[in-house]
A and B are shown apart, each in its own frame.
Chain A
Amino acid sequence: MGMQGMRVAIFSLSWMIKTMWKVGFLACFTCGLSLALGQGPSVEEAARHWAFQSISEPVPPLVTNAGTSIDSFLAAKQRSHQLRSAETVSSRLLLRRLAFGLKGLPATHDETLAFERDDRPDALARQVDKMLASPRFGERWGRHWLDLARYADTKGYLVGGASRRYPFAYSYRDWVIGSLNAGMPYDEFVRKQLAADLLRNAPAHPDLAALGFLTVGPRFLNREHLIIDDCIDVVTRGLMGFTVGCARCHDHFYDPIPQEDYYSLYGIFDLVKEPKELPVISLPDPSSPSYRDYTSKLKTLEKAVAEHLRSKWNYLRSEQGIRAYMQAAHDGFSLSNDRLEALAAKRKLYPKLVIRWRDFLRKKETSDDRLFAPWRAFREAKPSSYSSIVANWLSNSREIPPFLERELRKGTPKDFTQVSSWYSREFAGALAKSFVGQSSKATATLVATPAFPVSFELSAVERYFDTAARNKTNALRAKVAKHQADHPGSPTRAMAIVDVSTFHNPRIFERGNPNNRGREVPRRFLAALSPAGTRKPYVNGSGRLELADSILSKSNPLTARVFVNRVWEQMIGEGIVRTPSDFGLRGAPPTHPLLLDYLASTFREDSWDLKRLVRRISLSEAYRQSCGSPPARDPENRLLSVMNRQRLDFESMRDAMLFASGEIDLSIGGRSVHLIKKPFSVRRAVYGYVDRQNIPALLRTFDFSNPNIHTPARPETTVPQQALFALNDPFVIGRAEALGRALVGFAAEKAIQALYRRVLSRDPSAQELATAHAFLGGESSLEGLADLAQALLVSNEFFFID
């Protein structure tokens, strides 16, 4: 260890000790482990860290024979290592690469031929522009964004029969696809996803769907602080490659993120809520049969929920209900809460409400309330002594409530039940206001006070429910949600949020424990990304719009860098920064810092235009070079002297199979479809239903993005389960048979050629023709053609992109 290392180690150790002291030795010691080994940064190092420096506007180095500016940056570095980029790839493979990269679909054989024959100098640019203008572009790139946004159609694990569906998650997915197709600038794209509701006062604006970015995450059994943690994570790692989530329990060990910064963001998301009803953003034709059917059925289902609640509420406020609860309160007057709850359960009454009644009556007894004096007297006496009580009362003409006097003049109650039934009739009457003129003013006042056990509104009745009643409510609501989710006439709603109406500043949770609140911090942006003197508390509502502005501010260098790096990674196969969601001190440094800044600065100059960025990369020589093995001196191909061979992700593979068989349905948007179950949807996979709790094995097998947590990049695995899918899955067999069926009876050569064209967009070589011919035995039977088609569909040539 050199002097430098020693200094860092000593510094880190003291910092760690200080931090550990602060957090009571309970913080994430794992973070500290490597610190002790001497890897940790000093404060100065943190300040000097490349990613926190403002984005420069580098001039492309002068390099002879380098193509575009991008290539100049790459070539300069390659040449200092005696490397050169590879030959340009063939037109056929280039078009295929481009089609998958931009549209997630293959180029057809005809398109390939036309491109091969097009010798105009701007032939490639024309293709790029055509693809960028295709709606397929938004589907392809939208899916990349949905990975980052941990998109799913469900909430995750929940209990008590509550619906796990997000019936309108698709509105967010469609908004993403539509916005990318429309060429929405990235800054606007981000701003709307954080604060569409604050941008304009339009309660039914389609842009409200953008807020799904914050709301389609997992719900963690509705634990508020975990939901907010997830929002912070997706916003900071997703948009800025900054691991703020690490600072939940303590100051970040590596990056300059004090714990208070986490809570400054926490405070923002703590001040939003879901509206009671999600806003409808596209109303279908109200006269269409499907919409009419939807609304009438919805009414029935909603009525069932409302009626369930109302019938419970009515009962609790009825004479019969009040009597049952008062009786239980009387019978269990001196029991412990536990035992009283047990008694309530035995009588099928709500334990919470029985306790409330009992506590209410106890209070009334001791407060010398005129209304309850007789109640107490009867309660404490034996029925045998009732007559003397009554006589005493009536003769002394003590002030007794009129309703009791009326009853008592008719005769002595035979037991306490009768007394409590008088009370309950009086209360129920006063609540129903049907005893006008009969119930006393005192009663009417009493039942309207919040202290009266059943004075609550209908909307509050659920709070008192026992498990059975609650499960029933959940089940009825789940039916509504399912109807809204599944019925084709159900209008689209945005998964919107709104600010709450009163605002306050957050308090730090000591050690991340919500029950241990520390000092108050303002809502504001992260210290490390705020230039000195500009950091001000957010004052408008929750501060979401101000947060969006900070994230997109020119003084924040991370947002643009992180995004262009993600785009580069999608197109080139590896990022310039190979830790796409961690640009902090422990992330990987950029292989080409100047190129990254060039891309980021031009991206901002181009008004944050994704399509222009994609176009710029597509036209570079780097993108157009052949794939191959990286040279020995650069085994990880960091200098990009060959193109990285990519492979189809699950969506592209599935879409390409349907495309080859000619079955694909290219309609855009709408409710999610089932990809895994028969009959298989023939729509693009981006429209597939994603259940985050039970991600189908097939999707996991093919490295589908985990929607439970922000996924920086999909892993790439090769496992035999993938091959089992290729060999045996009815989906693959079905596409192969569709391909074969269309060619039965054709001459074998013709059929083979057609299959190659459909599946691989090329003609077979003479050798391939001979092999296939022998495989078919010279005949074009369905069985043979389907088997041949399948072999082509699952071949490496189909699966990899050169």
Chain B
Amino acid sequence: MDSASRDLPFARRDFLTRCGMGLGVAALGALCGEESLGAASINPMTPRGPHFAPKAKRVIHLFMNGGPAHMDTFDPKPELTRWSGKALPEGRRLATERKTGAAFGSPFRFNRYGKSGLQVSEIFPHVAKHADELCVIRSMKADLPNHEPSLMLMNCGDARLPRPSMGSWVTYGLGSENANLPGFVVLCPNGYPITETNNWRAAFLPGIYQGTYVDPTKGGPNEVIPNLKPARGLDRQGRQLDLLRSLNATHAADRGSDARLEARIQSFELAYRMQMEASDAFDVSKEPAKLRESYGSGIHAKQCLIARRLVERGVRFVQLWHGKDQPWDSHDDIEKQHRRLAGECDQAIGALLSDLKRTGLLEETLVLWGGEFGRTPTVELPKPGSNGGKVNGRDHNHHGFSMWMAGGGVKAGYVHGATDEFGFQAVENPVHVHDLHATMLHLLGFDHERFTYRYAGRDFRFTDVHGRVVKELLA
């Protein structure tokens, strides 16, 4: 190193240290965010490598918003059925959002499936066919029994403070493999879930990493990405682009090399191709009729099929919500409501798993299923303004609940942890939401403690000061 460059105000090494990033060196220039040092003009969606070789390259998060009851879906509780109608033993009924009463056995039958003999409720027969692919966590834990903070915790890793969502973190860390599509797509039929766009916010990460919301009932690909539809015929546009190319070439010729000028020139080429490719991605009519039938009918069939088409095209993170507001929030009529809700999505989710497997995508796609929490094994007591007073539903339960993962390097046909005999709280190998996040990041190739973003003078992590990788979940 010559003397002149040695006492330059900043050495490259300092620059890296100050960025405090745990990512590959190549990615640093673009990823220092707030403290970005003028090098952020390259496309922030450029695919990037994580800390170590990932098992999963993309995520499909099936968000059962409202909170499905684990004892009615993936966590059979025969003891609860025996106690049904009786008060639980002293001290076993825990505090949740509302008052609950006697034990309330599941109205559903559980059967064993596959070689693993995984027990699944009768309301998920199609998902159950994939028992040997599933990695069911029966010992999930969250912090609070209310929707808003639990949604924020599940999606953004913090119940209250404005932190980036999981999809934003992952897209920030990995970029997208398809420059013609948004890297993080959120589908929710008919409108937003509660807390709305906060669920997929980028917070202090650059806005480009925020989830792109799509209402799959609207469906037209042109509504997905603004300005996707060519304003005029492609021929006419092609001619205009030729002209633009020559204008930009003349401009660049006088100016020496500048990556930013070049990047913008390239962005027009990408945009031109995107007009075709992006609309194609959302157009499920291009799938063979037989395959479409396998997904069933209804909006979940459509959005699950879109999800497959998106991950197939390299979209990094797809989040599918069951519906607007909080559909799974069965404070009343658990039997009727859960049967209906599962009925709406079971076949489509089953078909999605089959389809991912068939196309070989499942191996590198991490599928996550679950809500923001589970529900109580005890029956919810009537409460004006919050339930219909029917005494046949369940309250929220953050003390213990189930989620499952599939594909992407998780242990298949495996059940992890357990709730107590009634299903009230996780007692065996509890997995906190932060632990789930750490594990997911691990599967995606990140050390969650080193995967940071400098903001407001501090290195932020998705898992904040928490989280541990649950090794048992890894294949």
**B383 touching A342, Cβ below 8 Å:** yes
**A796 touching B248, Cβ below 8 Å:** yes
The distance from the CB of A293 to the nearest CB of chain B, in whole angstroms, is 34
**B198 touching A157, Cβ below 8 Å:** yes
The distance from the CB of A46 to the nearest CB of chain B, in whole angstroms, is 13
Q: Answer whether residue B288 sits at the interface, using C-beta atoms and an 8 A cutoff.
A: no
Partner of A795, one of B212, B251, B270: B251
**B251 touching A724, Cβ below 8 Å:** no
**A724 touching B274, Cβ below 8 Å:** yes
Q: Answer whether residue A130 sits at the interface, using C-beta atoms and an 8 A cutoff.
A: no
**A726 touching B35, Cβ below 8 Å:** no
The distance from the CB of A458 to the nearest CB of chain B, in whole angstroms, is 23
Partner of A578, one of B37, B194, B252, B384: B37
Q: Answer whether residue A300 sits at the interface, using C-beta atoms and an 8 A cutoff.
A: no
Tell me which of A226, A341, A589, A791 has the highest count of chain B C-beta atoms within 10 A of its own C-beta: A791
**B44 touching A724, Cβ below 8 Å:** no
Q: How far is the CA of A81 from the CA of B8 in the complex (A)?
A: 8
- With A718-B42, A788-B243, A796-B265 in contact, is A582–B5 under 8 Å at CB? no
**B196 touching A157, Cβ below 8 Å:** yes
Which B residues lie within 8 Å of A47 (CB)?
A: none
**B458 touching A722, Cβ below 8 Å:** no
Which A residues lie within 8 Å of B243 (CB)?
A: 771-772, 775, 787-788, 791
Tell me which of B160, B381, B457, B464 has the highest count of chain A C-beta atoms within 10 A of its own C-beta: B457
The distance from the CB of A81 to the nearest CB of chain B, in whole angstroms, is 5
- With A706-B207, A727-B230, A728-B228 in contact, is A341–B267 under 8 Å at CB? no
Which A residues lie within 8 Å of B38 (CB)?
A: 573-574, 578, 636-637, 644
Q: Which residue of A lies closest to B207 (CB)?
A: A700
Q: How far is the CA of A791 from the CA of B198 in the complex (A)?
A: 37
Partner of A589, one of B9, B162, B460: B9
- With A27-B465, A717-B40, A717-B43 in contact, is A633–B225 under 8 Å at CB? no
Which residues of chain B in 35-85 are interfacial with respect to chain A, using CB atoms and an 8 Å cutoff?
Answer: 35-45
The distance from the CB of A770 to the nearest CB of chain B, in whole angstroms, is 11
**A638 touching B10, Cβ below 8 Å:** yes
Q: Answer whether residue A733 sits at the interface, using C-beta atoms and an 8 A cutoff.
A: yes
Q: How far is the CA of A185 from the CA of B186 in the complex (A)?
A: 47
- With A695-B207, A706-B207, A790-B240 in contact, is A647–B456 under 8 Å at CB? no
The distance from the CB of A240 to the nearest CB of chain B, in whole angstroms, is 12
Q: Answer whether residue B204 sits at the interface, using C-beta atoms and an 8 A cutoff.
A: yes
**B9 touching A591, Cβ below 8 Å:** yes
Which B residues lie within 8 Å of A34 (CB)?
A: 20, 459
The distance from the CB of B144 to the nearest CB of chain A, in whole angstroms, is 13
Q: Which residue of A lies closest to B236 (CB)?
A: A787
Number of interface residues of B (CB under 8 A): 95
Which A residues lie within 8 Å of B20 (CB)?
A: 34
Q: How far is the CA of A218 from the CA of B398 in the complex (A)?
A: 28
The distance from the CB of A522 to the nearest CB of chain B, in whole angstroms, is 25
**A341 touching B383, Cβ below 8 Å:** yes
Q: How far is the CA of A767 from the CA of B40 in the complex (A)?
A: 34
- Annotate B307-345 by CB proximity to A: 1 below 8 A, 0 otherwise: 000000000000000000000000000000000000000
**B457 touching A586, Cβ below 8 Å:** yes
Which B residues lie within 8 Å of A29 (CB)?
A: 465
Number of interface residues of A (CB under 8 A): 111
Partner of A243, one of B179, B203, B251, B458: B458
- With A221-B148, A718-B43, A796-B264 in contact, is A345–B385 under 8 Å at CB? yes
Interface 9-mer from B254-262, B366-374, B399-407, B421-429: B254-262
Q: How far is the CA of A31 from the CA of B454 in the complex (A)?
A: 10
The distance from the CB of A597 to the nearest CB of chain B, in whole angstroms, is 16
Q: Which residue of A lies closest to B35 (CB)?
A: A579
Q: Answer whether residue B275 sits at the interface, using C-beta atoms and an 8 A cutoff.
A: yes
Q: How far is the CA of A787 from the CA of B196 in the complex (A)?
A: 39
- Annotate B189-211 by CB proximity to A: 1 below 8 A, 0 otherwise: 00000111110011110111010
Tell me which of B37, B256, B461 has the highest count of chain A C-beta atoms within 10 A of its own C-beta: B37
Q: Answer whether residue A28 sits at the interface, using C-beta atoms and an 8 A cutoff.
A: yes
- Annotate A628-668 by CB proximity to B: 1 below 8 A, 0 otherwise: 11000110111100001101000000000000000000000
Which A residues lie within 8 Å of B4 (CB)?
A: 81-82, 633
Q: How far is the CA of A95 from the CA of B20 in the complex (A)?
A: 40
Q: Answer whether residue A602 sits at the interface, using C-beta atoms and an 8 A cutoff.
A: no
Q: How far is the CA of A81 from the CA of B4 in the complex (A)?
A: 5
- Annotate B453-475 by CB proximity to A: 1 below 8 A, 0 otherwise: 00011111100110000000000
Q: How far is the CA of A639 from the CA of B5 in the complex (A)?
A: 12
Q: How far is the CA of A157 from the CA of B18 in the complex (A)?
A: 34
The distance from the CB of A738 to the nearest CB of chain B, in whole angstroms, is 15
The distance from the CB of A450 to the nearest CB of chain B, in whole angstroms, is 26
Q: Answer whether residue A721 sits at the interface, using C-beta atoms and an 8 A cutoff.
A: yes
**B227 touching A729, Cβ below 8 Å:** yes
Which B residues lie within 8 Å of A768 (CB)?
A: 247, 250
The distance from the CB of A730 to the nearest CB of chain B, in whole angstroms, is 7
Q: Answer whether residue B303 sits at the interface, using C-beta atoms and an 8 A cutoff.
A: no
Residue pairs across A and B with Cβ atoms less than 8 A apart, 14 shown, are A28-B464, A28-B465, A30-B452, A31-B459, A34-B459, A223-B160, A243-B457, A468-B385, A578-B37, A587-B457, A629-B257, A708-B203, A771-B246, A788-B243
4 A-B pairs with least C-beta separation: A345-B384, A723-B271, A243-B457, A29-B465
Other than the known A226-B160, A589-B9, what 6 A-B pairs have Cβ atoms closer than 8 Å? A28-B464, A591-B10, A633-B5, A701-B207, A720-B270, A799-B264
